[in-house]
Structure 1
Amino acid sequence: MTIHSDWGDWLPTAIAAAEPDGLAVWYLGCNGFALKAADGTTVFIDPYLGTGDPPRTVRMIPVPFEPTDVVEADAVLATHDHTDHTHGPSQAPILTGTDATFYGPPTSVATAEAWTDEHGVDGNDIAEITEGETLEVGSLRIHVEPAHDPDADHPVGYVVEHESGTFFHGGDARPSEDFEAIGGSYDIDLGAVAFGSAGMIPDKETREPKYTQWYSNENMAAEAAAQLQLDRLLPTHWDMWKGLTADPTALRDHTRSFDHPRTLEILEIGDRTSV
């Protein structure tokens, strides 16, 4: 599979040229992020540049860059093994074109191991992680935490600490005791929570329409933000799949009476914010 960008190379060029004062965050659409710290440390989390599996899953947003245009990266993190989170055509070229190491839970690593033959990835650039571990990547301290995603096999979340603040990425996880524990252990400035509607999506095997909910709805996203004690809630995934898209501005009514999140921060694909 060859990936063609709708936008050319301006986004990875902008990331490479950026000189943030603290920790900058770019939303890549779906549930993907690029993080860059003041010292240049650059980490991608769940970057996905595929178009899905039409007509079952149909991408509704642009492909923002080609992975071969990424010239600087220290790590690629995967939260779980679903295609839009662990994807060889999207992630292997980042590994082969930079000094990045791929980190993921066992199921993601099992998928990535095939990239050594399929995409020429060095096996030493694939590392398995699990809950309770801490990674030191440049100026970033990354904690691997458990995550409750009933549709995934061994998902994890990441707490990324930098001297300027803390970012949390929960993959597609939903509210749970895991989020409560994370919220009690860290002071999270900005947290990404997967949010979307439910819809009739063709079954993977039979292709018959099937009621499908893969992400938190409005009340669940609000509950997740409260459990994580987020200062700022950043909803993700609402833009991605035809039939499961949602309006993130609706979350204002669902979160405004709670102590957390203090702020709802909505980014569109390609937008940049800071932690």
Structure 2
Amino acid sequence: MIHSDWNDWLVRDVEDASPDGVSIWYLGCNGFIVKGRNGTTIFIDPYVGLGDPPRTVRMIPVPFSPADVTEADAVLATHEHTDHVHGPSQAPILESTGATFYAPDDSLAVAREDENWTDEWDVSDDQLTEVTEGDTIEIGEFTLHVEPAHDPDATHPVSYVLEHDAGTFFHGGDTKPGETFDRIGEAYDIDLGVLAFGTVGQIPDKETREPKRTRWYNDENQLVETAAALELDRVVPTHWDMWKGLTADPKVLHHHAKSFDYPRELEIIEIGDRVDLPA
């Protein structure tokens, strides 16, 4: 069982909240909880694991214990990597709430075949639902659109657009710039988007454990390029806080973004922070 460094205050803060529109809490790494005014609660890429030390070393607190979650309608995964699909982080949420897990095929393969969620936890197979690009799904007061992502390190990544009458939220997973984002920017009026940001570092290779030059996330120019293509009103950089050797200073993005029409606002938040739609 995973134990939180913060006890249960963050989970209770979310469950006690009554948003005027939509409230969004940052869980560190690339995780978020999204809650609407009618109570619909969606987790996106929640990860409370410690990584794989000394290869990947978690640099931030574990903000909640999945066993403490009592309210969730859905858990979304953007791609199959461990910090986006992780049984100990996500299956207990499904177990305690009956929520549905939405993910692309390769992510579901991790849950079903590699981690055996239905055997290791009280999770039924009908709670695991495959999504693919072009799908539209109603989740309570939200409309979820599944869109492409460009993450060369993943086998089948997707991005998500969550529409609500209070505003529209985009989660890109670990995407980098891609040809599809101009179309997505034209198709939706996105109020707030999150994009992964980090440095290039020396990370031990997964097989050999020899140090290897590693770039997993957008640099300054890539993040602004993607935010501009999506025509984001507000952009939140993520993932910069997570892994030793790949952490970054998101304040530098101000200089890269200031000469572009989009994003209109760079919003830097830390683990546990809450942002709202409308702002």
For normalisation by structure 1, the TM-score amounts to: 0.99
Pick from 146, 153, 171 the counterpart of residue 144 of structure 1: 146
Q: What residue is the counterpart of 1:203 in the other structure?
A: 205
Q: How does 1:227-238 map to 2 (within 5 A)?
A: 227-238=229-240
Q: Distance in 1 between matches of 2:204 and 2:146?
A: 33
Q: Distance in 1 between matches of 2:91 and 2:137?
A: 20
Per-residue CA deviation, residues 205-245 of structure 1 (Å, 9 max, x unaligned), is 00000000000000101101101100001000000000000
Q: What residue is the counterpart of 1:243 in the other structure?
A: 245
What's the CA shift for 1:120? 2.5
What's the CA shift for 1:180? 1.6
What's the CA shift for 1:119? 1.9
Q: Distance in 1 between matches of 2:241 and 2:190?
A: 24
Contact 1:42 1:73 in 2 (8 A): yes
Q: What residue is the counterpart of 2:37 in the other structure?
A: 38
Q: What residue is the counterpart of 1:48 in the other structure?
A: 47
User: Where does structure 1 differ by over 4 angstroms across 4 or more consecutive aligned residues?
Assistant: none
Give % identity.
66
Q: What residue is the counterpart of 1:58 in the other structure?
A: 57
Secondary structure of the residue aligned to 2:180 is: helix
Q: What residue is the counterpart of 1:117 in the other structure?
A: 119
Extract unaligned runs of 5+ from structure 1: none
What's the CA shift for 1:137? 0.3
Q: How does 1:64-143 map to 2 (within 5 A)?
A: 64-113=63-112, 114-143=116-145
| Count of aligned positions | 274
Secondary structure of the residue aligned to 1:43 is: strand
Q: Distance in 2 between matches of 1:111 and 1:122?
A: 15
Q: Distance in 2 between matches of 1:56 and 1:69?
A: 29
Contact 1:72 1:99 in 2 (8 A): no
Q: What value does the CA root-mean-square deviation take over the aligned residues?
A: 0.6
* Amino acid in the other structure paired with 1:80: H
For normalisation by structure 2, the TM-score amounts to: 0.97
What's the CA shift for 1:112? 1.4
Q: Distance in 1 between matches of 2:222 and 2:14?
A: 32
What's the CA shift for 1:99? 2.4
Q: Distance in 2 between matches of 1:248 and 1:135?
A: 33
What's the CA shift for 1:111? 1.2
Q: What residue is the counterpart of 2:193 in the other structure?
A: 191
